[in-house]
């Protein structure tokens, strides 16, 4: 046991930084065409990701790895409050930035922040703190389930206003799993699931564009020039990659065929260039990080640390497989980043900070 914490922390650190550097390499190829078109330089996006995402993320990782988890537990309500405020600021004209019909960013001069990314981590840290202090009441409807529902509903409502269905699903799913892992009753979770499905279903049904996304999932070839275009182009990219891929840098779909080649659809570009082998290896790495996380959770005795570690692992795996599921037409289309890989400083910083916290938990195992 004395060596377990050091081994797990070391392996996790190596895995996280290998996948992060790999993400920069994939991004350099996936973004080169769009970078040249918009900024007349080939590596604008990867340079931006390196400077404002990876470099800041490394600092966030170190901070997460070194800070006192007892102190983090005490300030969890402040973190949640800050996340709520930032999510609300997105909706203010002049401060929130609109792109593609969504208000998901705050811009101040040359800097931008997508508050929903750190909000994912903030709510999981808060839930871990709250659940660790109320374990005896979790089975009660009024004292356990209802406060949990209110917490998730407040964050969910603000994200729904952006709108960002993908992030809403990831946060709801990860939070629900943490509540269940902490000791929540399955009947309460079933009720929560039914209500959540009704809310999301009604939200989708009220907008023709959202209905088209569901229709496209059910019949992806029905309208390949409009609602089904991005899914169709993703599948073409994946199919063209075959077993071994076309070779790094040789994607054809990134030449203005596939929208968001460096963001939501980067997995398709990677599959085209590195083939089934490369695409599968990335999934194996995600599962490997998940397994390391499982070992950390299994050996951790402190309730707050264990619940936070569980939430971080759940967040990573859910978001990774939602992105991959969308790109492979396995689930309805929704825009969400591929952790450690997609372009987006807020996402990369958040996941590196989360990985730092997970490493911190691993380092505390022996005590």
Q: What is the pLDDT of residues 290-317, one digit of tens each?
A: 999 999 999 999 999 999 999 999 999 9
348 neighbors 20 (Cβ within 8 angstroms): yes
Q: Determine whether 266 is exposed, middle or buried from the number of CB atoms within 10 Å of its CB (0-12, 13-18, 19+).
A: buried
Total domains in the chain come to: 1
Has residue 63 got a pLDDT over 60? yes
DSSP state of 255: T
Ranges 127-131, 151-155, 224-228, 241-245, most confident: 127-131
- Average pLDDT of the residues in 214-223: 56
pLDDT score at 73: 95
Q: Classify the phi-psi angles of 182: left when phi > 0, otherwise alpha if psi is within -120 to 50, otherwise beta.
A: alpha
What's the pLDDT at 3?
A: 52
Reported as a single tens digit per residue, the pLDDT across 281-290 is 999 999 999 9
Q: What's the average model confidence in pLDDT over 110-136?
A: 88
Lowest mean pLDDT among 19-23, 135-139, 143-147, 352-356: 135-139
User: Domain range for residue 337?
Assistant: 4-363
């Amino acid at each position: 046991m004395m060596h377990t914490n050091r081994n797990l922390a070391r392996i996790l650190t190596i895995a996280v930084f290998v996948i992060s550097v790999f993400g920069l390499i994939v991004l350099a190829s996936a973004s080169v065409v769009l970078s040249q078109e918009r900024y007349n330089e080939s590596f604008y996006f990867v340079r931006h990701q390196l400077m404002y995402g990876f470099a800041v993320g490394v600092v966030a990782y170190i901070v997460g790895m070194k800070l006192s988890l007892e102190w983090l537990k005490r300030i969890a309500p402040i973190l949640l409050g800050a996340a709520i405020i930032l999510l609300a600021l997105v909706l203010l004209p002049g401060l929130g930035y609109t792109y593609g019909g969504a208000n998901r960013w705050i811009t101040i001069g040359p800097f931008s922040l997508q508050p929903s990314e750190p909000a994912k981590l903030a709510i999981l840290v808060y839930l871990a703190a709250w659940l660790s202090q109320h374990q005896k009441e979790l089975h009660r409807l009024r004292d356990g389930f209802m406060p949990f529902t209110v917490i998730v509903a407040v964050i969910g409502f603000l994200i729904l206003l952006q709108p960002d269905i993908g992030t809403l699903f990831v946060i709801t799913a990860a939070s629900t799993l943490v509540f269940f892992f902490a000791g929540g009753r399955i009947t309460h979770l079933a009720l929560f699931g039914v209500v959540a499905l009704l809310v999301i279903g009604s939200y989708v049904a009220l907008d023709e564009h959202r209905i088209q996304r569901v229709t496209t999932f059910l019949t992806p070839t029905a309208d390949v020039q409009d609602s089904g275009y991005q899914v169709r182009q993703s599948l073409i990219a994946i199919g063209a990659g075959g077993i071994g891929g076309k070779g790094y840098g040789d994607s054809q779909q990134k030449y203005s065929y596939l929208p968001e080649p460096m963001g939501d659809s980067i997995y398709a570009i990677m599959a085209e260039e590195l083939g089934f082998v490369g695409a599968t290896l990335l999934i194996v790495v995600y599962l490997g990080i998940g397994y390391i996380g499982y070992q950390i959770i299994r050996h951790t005795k402190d309730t707050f640390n264990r619940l936070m570690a569980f939430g971080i692992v759940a967040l990573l795996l859910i978001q990774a497989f939602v992105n991959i599921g969308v790109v492979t037409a396995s689930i309805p289309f929704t825009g969400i980043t591929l952790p450690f890989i997609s372009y987006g400083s807020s996402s990369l910083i958040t996941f590196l900070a989360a990985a730092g916290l997970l490493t911190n938990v691993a380092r505390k195992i022996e005590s």
